[in-house]
């Protein structure tokens, strides 16, 4: 006798060639039991003598797993859709309709609701832990910004007049609305600083405005030392502070030729669409613009 059984919530058909086609086929799982005739015609038995499939669909003992009902539905739906049409086409259609009704009943049952609330509770705890982690990261970034700004007060050529939210916490760039707000701020300040793009400028990101302006003279590691912007540019303006990811993303958006205008200006000295490797996520990075190119540089 063919028999559908549950194995890890997947229904497998075990077909025994020696099975009696007149014996009923049993389809069962934890949710309900369905007894019906074999789907192929039974020899020696007329259509009127066969018990209709739909009439044998038992009332569900327990409907707690809607996914298992979906598996049974898929098995019967495949037979229902097959060509040539099964002699039990009408009965299978009725059975599929009943399963749909049971699924709707499960989705509205109190037990189902409690399970959903339990899953929601787990997700709420995960979300709360993630929010706490993000809050700690942004607190570190804000403190890092404040420490970095203290170091540049006496440095000639670095301006903080245009930096976003100097008296507030740094915005978390993981939230798209914050990235949009920061980009709008940067675009507006670039318009002012570069006089609408008429003056030569270069947009970049850095972890330390002081070092980026003055240069890094540590040659203990090959490639670590570099010249500072003070050699080539008169002014350095900080536009905003963010995480490494936030600063890197903002640089790409500002310099994106397809969606922004800044690299289209002949006065822009950026040769690429950003893409500098971002700094650590819990350390501050700055988006800046330099302008006033020195003669001969």
CB-neighbour burial class of residue 277 (10 A; exposed 0-12, middle 13-18, buried 19+): exposed
> Which segments within 148-253 are labelled E, that is strand?
158-159, 201-206, 215-216, 226-227, 233-242
Cα 220 to Cα 28, 213, 217, 226: the distances in Å are: 72, 20, 9, 12
Domain spans in the chain, listed from the N-terminal domain onward: 3-108, 135-293
Please, are residues 45 and 13 in contact by the beta-carbon 8 Å criterion?
A: no
The Cα–Cα gap between 238 and 120 comes to 43
Q: What is the pTM of this model?
A: 0.59
The tens place of each residue's pLDDT in the chain, 297 residues long, gives: 444 443 433 333 333 334 444 444 444 444 334 444 434 444 444 444 444 444 444 444 433 344 445 556 666 666 667 777 777 777 777 777 777 666 555 555 555 444 444 445 666 777 888 888 999 999 999 999 999 999 998 888 999 999 999 999 999 999 999 999 999 999 999 999 999 999 999 999 999 999 999 998 776 666 677 889 999 999 999 999 999 999 999 999 999 999 999 999 999 999 988 767 777 778 999 999 999 999 987
């Amino acid at each position: 006798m063919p028999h559908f059984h549950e194995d890890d919530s997947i229904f497998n058909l075990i077909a025994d060639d020696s099975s009696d086609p007149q014996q009923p086929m049993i389809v069962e799982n934890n949710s309900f039991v369905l007894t019906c005739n074999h789907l192929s015609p039974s020899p020696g038995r007329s259509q009127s003598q066969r018990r209709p499939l739909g009439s044998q669909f038992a009332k569900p003992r327990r409907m707690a797993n809607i996914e298992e009902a979906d598996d049974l539905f898929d098995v019967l739906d495949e037979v229902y859709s097959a060509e040539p049409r099964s002699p039990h086409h009408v009965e299978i259609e009725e059975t599929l309709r009943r399963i749909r009704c049971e699924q709707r009943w499960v989705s509205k049952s109190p037990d189902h609701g409690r399970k959903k609330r339990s899953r929601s509770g787990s997700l709420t705890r995960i979300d709360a832990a993630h929010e706490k982690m993000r809050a700690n990261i942004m607190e570190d970034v804000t403190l890092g910004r404040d420490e970095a700004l203290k170091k540049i007060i006496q440095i000639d050529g670095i301006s903080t007049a245009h930096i976003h939210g100097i008296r507030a916490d740094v915005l978390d760039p993981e939230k798209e609305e914050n990235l949009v707000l920061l980009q709008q701020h940067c675009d507006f300040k670039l318009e002012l600083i570069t006089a609408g793009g008429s003056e030569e400028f270069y947009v970049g990101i850095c972890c330390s405005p002081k070092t980026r302006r003055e240069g890094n003279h540590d040659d203990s590691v090959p490639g670590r030392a570099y010249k500072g912007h003070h050699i080539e540019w008169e002014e350095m303006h900080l536009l905003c502070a963010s995480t490494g990811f936030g600063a890197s993303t903002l640089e790409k958006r500002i310099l994106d030729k397809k969606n922004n205008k800044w690299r289209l200006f002949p006065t822009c000295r950026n040769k690429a669409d950003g893409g500098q490797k971002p700094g650590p996520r819990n350390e501050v990075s700055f988006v800046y613009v330099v302008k006033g190119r020195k003669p001969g540089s």
